Amino acid sequence: MPIPALAIRRTPLVAVYGTLKRGLRNHHWLDGAEFVGEDILTSVTLYDLGPYPGARAETSRGVEIEVFRVDADCLEGLDRLEDYRVAQPTAGDYDRAIYTTAHGLAWLYLYNRDVAGCPVIREGGWPAGA
């Protein structure tokens, strides 16, 4: 279950589950970030949107994430990549929420758009089988 962002002013950790993971095409957005570790979250479900996944705050059997320590500049870049809009969080493609991970509280991007008809990943990682 996400922790309301207003309850926490700032966290230096980001949990990623898609193209930002190590070895995938957008990982370069995390250049300079410290890899902290992996975890599995049962409080999110992934939807395969084709070229990338989107997470929703829905119960799953366990979605694989990677956690990174980032600075403010890196987080700002991730916000641009994910179309997260600070002033209107539900207007962009993704919103941000704080989740509890094995490595501490971390931001995680949640998909705002329609997922009807998209394949669901309730266990494991993206891409499916990864």
Sheet bearing 53-56, strands edge to edge: 53-56, 45-48, 120-121
Please pick, among 58, 64, 76, 82, the residue that the annotation labels catalytic: 82
Q: DSSP letters along 30-63, please?
A: GTTPEEEEEEEESS-EEEE-SSSEEEES---SEE
82 in active site:
yes
- DSSP class of residue 98? E
Catalytic residues: 82
